[in-house]
Amino acid sequence: MRVILVDDEELARLELRRLLAHHSDVEIVGEADGASSAEEMLIRVRPDLVFLDIKMPGRSGFDLLSTLPTPLPRIVFVTAYDAFALRAFDVNALDYLLKPVHPERLARALERVQSSPLMTGESPTLQSPADPMVEGEMPFGENDPIFIREGERCWFVPLKEVRLFETEGSYTRIHFRSESPLVYRTLAQLEARLPTSLFFRANRAQLVNVAFIEGIESWFSGSLKARLRGGSEVEFSRRQAQYFRNRLSL
C-alpha cells in the first residue's frame, strides 16, 4: 500500500511515519508540507492512500481535494480539530483521525483502507455522502468515533460513550450524554457492527453498554434488571439474562 503524508507540521509527519513503520504492508512514497507541494506529487505518484491534514497555510486539505482529477486516492484525514468531521465524510473520507494519533486507531483506519474499493481492484470515485453507521462491513472498535445525524443535527461521538441503543420500529434511538437522536437504521443493522465486548443485547428492543451498568438485580421469572449510570433501567429477558450470567460470571 503506497502512502503519501501531507501535513505542514514536520513533527506530525515524523510521528505518523514512526507509527506506520509498524505496518509492513505500508510503504511511504512521499511527504508534502502543504497543498501546493502535494498537488503535483499526488498526480505524479498516484498513491493508494493519503494521510491528509486539514488546516494548513494557504490551501486547506479540502481545497487540495477539489483540484485533483478523479479517480481520487483513498483519503484518511489526520487533524487536531473535530469540527471538520461532517465535511470530511461528505467528501467520502475513509476515516478521520484526531491528533495525537493512537496506534490502535491507526490500525483500524488501515483495515478500512484495505477493504475499500481501491485496495480490492475497483476504480475509486468521489461518491455521494454515505452514512458511516452502516457503510461497508467493517466493525467498530470500542474507541472508534461514530458519526450520527438526525435531521440537521450531527454528532461525532466515541462509541464507548453510547450507553444504550433502543429500537423504535424501523428506527433506532441512540442514547449518549444528554442526547437521544433517532436514526433510520434497525437495531439489527447496528448490532452487526458493534463490539460484543462492550454491547450486549438485553432484550428484543435494547442493546446496552455493559460499562454503564452500575447495579443489577434479579427480576421476575429469571430475568434481570440493570441500573445504568444516569438513572435509567434496562430489563434483561429471561433468555438474555441467562446468556449474560454465563458470559460474565466468574
Q: What is the pLDDT of residues 70-111, one digit of tens each?
A: 778 899 999 988 777 767 766 778 888 988 999 999 998 898
The pTM of the full predicted model, rounded to 2 decimals, is 0.55
Nearest-angstrom CA–CA distance, 109 and 155:
20
Residue count of the chain: 250
Q: What is the mean pLDDT of residues 49-58?
A: 94
Kindly state the average pLDDT of the residues 197-223.
92
- Parse the chain into domains and list their residue ranges: 2-120, 145-248
The answer to whether 98 and 79 have CB atoms below 8 angstroms apart is yes
Q: Give the residue carrying C-alpha cell 490500525.
A: 107
Calpha distance 85→154 (Å, rounded): 10
CATH number attached to the domain at 2-120: 3.40.50.2300
What is residue 89's predicted lDDT score, i.e. its pLDDT?
Answer: 67
Percent of residues, the chain, with pLDDT higher than 90: 49
Taking the CA atoms of residue 149, residue 155, residue 160 and residue 161 in that order, the dihedral angle to the nearest 10 degrees is -110
* 198 phi and psi angles, rounded to 5 deg: -115, -40
Domain 145-248 has CATH 2.40.50.1020: yes
Mean pLDDT of all residues belonging to the chain: 85
Is residue 220 scored above 90 in pLDDT? no
Residue 240, Cα to own-chain centre: how many angstroms?
A: 28
Instruction: List, for residues 7-31, the tens digit of each pLDDT value.
Output: 999 999 999 999 999 999 999 999 9
**Per-residue pLDDT for 243 more than 60?**
yes
Q: What is the pLDDT of residues 160-209, one digit of tens each?
A: 999 999 998 778 999 999 999 998 888 888 888 899 889 999 998 999 99
